[in-house]
Structure 1
């Protein structure tokens, strides 16, 4: 893989990881449509590191507050709204971890195709549109309960299917449960920290146990580019979401899905 391809794929990863349009779909499509070779395990680790650093640094105050409150709840039995939110994020992470380990091989073998991506991109895009139009927008993430966190966690597990979008699924579920758009996005982004950390660690372990060659220049481009793109994406998404809603992303998903179907028919 060339440096140019590394830059483009890292840019795609950074821009799409936190938008409700599926980063996995966009990383699969260049190989399916343009004939680019698979980015490989080492590159996957690099872009996970970049996007993880972006969300942790952007939400550094919230992360420190949640961690402090969580440790306080564990060792000193002190509970507040931050410790509650921290526990809810942990709970919401469990379904994707369990199903990811159980279904990883199945997903790799049967679900990473342009046809699957096209179908899930369209269906979950329409679901996002419907929920965004009918949501009540009544609560923030600190008002959530364990049942709501579990439902959002199950939605995150659904995003193991390429084209679904992790952020799209979690934001859709949160909106359905009555979250405001901003609260749904924040909860989704905070949920991404443990799941990206675990996924990156898993991929890193696989990389360490393999004999895959590591190109440091390619990895550096991947980390830096995905970090910058993800950080800017989070910032502007949170600034604009209350004004523009989800409709632009729904329209994009529909166009992308139709494009995938057309490519699948004529390729």
Structure 2
């Protein structure tokens, strides 16, 4: 009887141990699974928090950029207003200074410079018109070359193209007239016996240059004046130059 009880007691103990072992395994396994779930959830929360922080920082950066852009646009607008005021007052150096500041800001924020360039063109056109008007008032035909050289420096804007072309042609017409005057003066001196060979040669050269300008289509010819010069040149040659080329014994 005692042995049976002992065997029965031992069997119950093993069963209890087995049950406890199973319970332990279940608890440990469940705890491990729970821990894994917990850590995964915590990782998820951390990632979400990081994403939210990145989004918040991005929004702050975008808002900061937007405010800076608005500030830059306002600064450019103020500078453009100052440029227009300076342009009205003829303060061209100030216009350029303000334009440089405005362009620097515009380029930094990738903003348009069209309005700035438009004002600068208005200024350059105003300067060109003033310079052109000054040259147009010069009546001295002998100033044809300085006028032409200065005209080359003035941009030929469409708004002043016709005036520019007219003055350009006038410089060549004046040059033609000056050459005729010089040809007349030197031919007259030659006919009067004043260094006839030199003045005759000069007169021929001046007339040739004048005719070349006409031939190039840059000036209108004065046929009557050219003919008169040729007549005086012929007279000078016959009177004071031709005889020096005659053989010494021709009339002996």
Shorter-chain-normalised TM-score: which range?
under 0.3
Higher relative contact order (CA 8 A, sep 6+): 1
The two structures have a TM-score, normalised by structure 2, of: 0.23
Larger fraction in helix = 2
Q: Which has the larger radius of gyration?
A: 2
The two structures have a TM-score, normalised by structure 1, of: 0.22
